[in-house]
C-alpha cells in the first residue's frame, strides 16, 4: 500500500512521498493528481536518496509531464523532509532537475534560496504588451499589467504554446505585488506559482520598480515574500500539511 501526504503551499497543492529508488512515475502522477478519482493536486513529488545531498526529487505535473523546478513545491518538500527525518536541524538541501536547493523550515514557515534567474529575452511583444522571458528554474513569460484582472486565459494559453513557457502578469500596488500565472503541465491558471512569482519580481526589481524585500500576493490571496540580498534570491511563505492517506485504489506494481 502506498502512503502519501498532501501539502498546500499558497494554493499550489502537491502529493508527496519518498521511495528508495528512482523510476519513471509519470503515469502514477496522472492517477494521483486526478481531482475526481485520485488525491487531487497540481503536482506529485517523490523524494529519493542521494549520496551528496539530503535527497533528490522527482517532480511531475498533474498531466504526468516532468518539470525541473517548482518554487512552492520546494517549500512543501522541505517541510515534509524535516517531518520524516530525511533532513534535520530545520534545514533541507536537495537536488532538483534545475540544480541544488536549500530551504530553512521554521514551523510551518519555509524560506527557499532560489536558483539564480536568467533573463533570456527582454524584447518580446505580444498582444500589445512587452514581455520578458526569464528562467527561474523553468521558463516564464512576464509582463506588467495595468490591473490584475487583465489576465485573459486564451491569450495565456496561446503564449504558453508558442514559447513553451509559463505565462505571468503582475500588478504593482505601492510596495506590494500581485501575480497571476498560467502553468505548463496543469494547462490552466493556478492559485500560486513560486517560480512565476520570482520571475515577476526579477523583472520589476531589475527595472527599479520594487524594493529588495517585497510582499507578493498570488491568486490565492496568501501573503508571500521575495527578497534580493547581495545577488541571492529568497522566497518565503507558509505551507500546510493537509492530510496523510493510504492509497487503496488498485495501482499496478510497475507504476509504484
The CA-atom distances, in angstroms, between 102 and each of 39, 71, 112, 114, 115 are: 28, 11, 6, 8, 9
In this predicted structure, what is the pLDDT of residue 252? 76
Q: Give the three-class secondary structure for 83.
A: helix
Of the candidates 70, 76, 103, 226, the residue annotated as catalytic is: 70
The residues that bridge with 229 in the sheet, in sequence order, are 232
Residue 161 to residue 235: CA distance in whole angstroms? 27
- Is the pLDDT at 175 greater than 90, yes or no? no
CA 196 from centroid of its chain's CA atoms:
8
In this predicted structure, what is the pLDDT of residue 134? 98
Share of the chain above pLDDT 70, in %: 100
In this predicted structure, what is the pLDDT of residue 122? 97
Residue 33 among the catalytic residues? no
CA 164 from centroid of its chain's CA atoms:
16
Of the candidates 193, 202, 216, 247, the residue annotated as catalytic is: 193
Residue 177 to residue 210: CA distance in whole angstroms? 9
What's the predicted TM-score (pTM) here? 0.94
Torsion of CA 11, 17, 18, 24, to 10 degrees: -90
The total number of residues written for the chain in this structure: 256
User: Are β-strands 2-9 and 12-18 bridged in parallel, bridged antiparallel, or unpaired?
Assistant: antiparallel
pLDDT band at 11 (very low <50, low <70, confident <90, very high): very high
pLDDT band at 161 (very low <50, low <70, confident <90, very high): very high
Query: What average pLDDT does range 58-67 have in this prediction?
Result: 96
Q: What is the pLDDT of residues 101-147, one digit of tens each?
A: 999 999 999 999 999 999 999 999 999 999 999 999 999 999 999 99
Q: Mean pLDDT over all residues of the chain?
A: 96
Amino acid at each position: 500500500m502506498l502512503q502519501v501526504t498532501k501539502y498546500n503551499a499558497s494554493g499550489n497543492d502537491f502529493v508527496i512521498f519518498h521511495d528508495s529508488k528512482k523510476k519513471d512515475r509519470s503515469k502514477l502522477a496522472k492517477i494521483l493528481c486526478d481531482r475526481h478519482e485520485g488525491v487531487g493536486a497540481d503536482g506529485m513529488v517523490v523524494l529519493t536518496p542521494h549520496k551528496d545531498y539530503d535527497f533528490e526529487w522527482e517532480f511531475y505535473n498533474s498531466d504526468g509531464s516532468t518539470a525541473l523546478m517548482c518554487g512552492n513545491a520546494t517549500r512543501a518538500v522541505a517541510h515534509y523532509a524535516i517531518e520524516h527525518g530525511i533532513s534535520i536541524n530545520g534545514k533541507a538541501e536537495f537536488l532538483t532537475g534545475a540544480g541544488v536547493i536549500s530551504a530553512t523550515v521554521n514551523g510551518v514557515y519555509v524560506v527557499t534560496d532560489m536558483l539564480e534567474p536568467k533573463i533570456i529575452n527582454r524584447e518580446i511583444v505580444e498582444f500589445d504588451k512587452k514581455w520578458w522571458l526569464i528562467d527561474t528554474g523553468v521558463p516564464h513569460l512576464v509582463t506588467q499589467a495595468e490591473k490584475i484582472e487583465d489576465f485573459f486565459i486564451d491569450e495565456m494559453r496561446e503564449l504558453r504554446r508558442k514559447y513553451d513557457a509559463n505565462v505571468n502578469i503582475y500588478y504593482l500596488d505601492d510596495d506590494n505585488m500581485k501575480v497571476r500565472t498560467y502553468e505548463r503541465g496543469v494547462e490552466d491558471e493556478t492559485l500560486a506559482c513560486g517560480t512565476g512569482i520570482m520571475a515577476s519580481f526579477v523583472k520589476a526589481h531589475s527595472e527599479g520598480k520594487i524594493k529588495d524585500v517585497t510582499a507578493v500576493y498570488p491568486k490565492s490571496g496568501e501573503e508571500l515574500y521575495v527578497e534580493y540580498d547581495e545577488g541571492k534570491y529568497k522566497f518565503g511563505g507558509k505551507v500546510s500539511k493537509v492530510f496523510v492517506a493510504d492509497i487503496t485504489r488498485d495501482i499496478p506494481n510497475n507504476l509504484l
